[in-house]
Amino acid sequence: MFNLFLSFLKIGFLAFGGGYGALSLIQDEIVHLNHWIDPETFLNLIAIAQITPGPIAINSATFVGFELFGIYGSIVATLGVILPSVFWLFLLELIIKLLSKKIDIQKIFFTLRLSTFSLIIAATLRIGISSIFDVFTIILFVGAFTVLKVFKPSVVWIVLGCGICGIIYSFFY
């Protein structure tokens, strides 16, 4: 359980940009390095984290912790991913107070945004490639992307529509 705490503490310290930026770190840590869950379960974890309220990193920590050690594991993993945020907030407040007159804070935040963008792109590519595994998922992806680009509906409708299509597809194949 200590290794679980340390893993999510590391994710919490290194995951800038929210849950989407953290997805590749979470995947590396829980799928590739520690082998706590398999890639297919990771995709299910992302789906569950998306439909439940709360940040993706916290939902992921809670899910993995519960899968490994039950309720105590979910508490330990969730604390591990939350504690660094508290640390970063205090540290950033201190730095901004000390240096705001001497350096351009906007340049620092611009650099952080760029690094976050690269993490989001990496997670999108990793998860996207592992999610498309047959002709149906390719068609569903292209259809959902097209509907999003052309009609710009709420993402909720896309998720619901794809879920319904997946349920219908599973009855026939």
**What is the predicted pLDDT for the residue at 17?**
67
Average pLDDT over residues 111-133: 85
pLDDT band at 54 (very low <50, low <70, confident <90, very high): confident
The interaxial angle of helices 105-131 and 135-151, nearest 10 deg, is: 140
The token pair at 21 is: 């930026």
Q: Residue 34's Cα: distance from chain center in Å?
A: 17
Residue 23 has pLDDT above 70, yes or no: yes
16 CB neighbour count, 10 Å cutoff: 14
Q: How confident is the model at residue 31 (pLDDT cuts 50, 70, 90)?
A: very high
Q: What is the mean pLDDT of residues 114-125?
A: 86
**Amino acid residing at 37:** I
Q: What angle do CA 65, 68, 72 make, to 5 degrees?
A: 55
**Cβ contacts of 173 within 8 Å, gap of 6 or more:** 136
Q: Give the C-alpha separation, 14 to 17, whole Å.
A: 10
Model pLDDT, residue 14: 87
Residue 144: which pLDDT band, with cuts at 50, 70 and 90? Answer: very high
pTM assigned to the model? 0.65
**How many alpha carbons lie under 13 Å from residue 3 in its C-beta half-sphere?**
8
The residue ranking higher by pLDDT, 107 or 12, is: 12
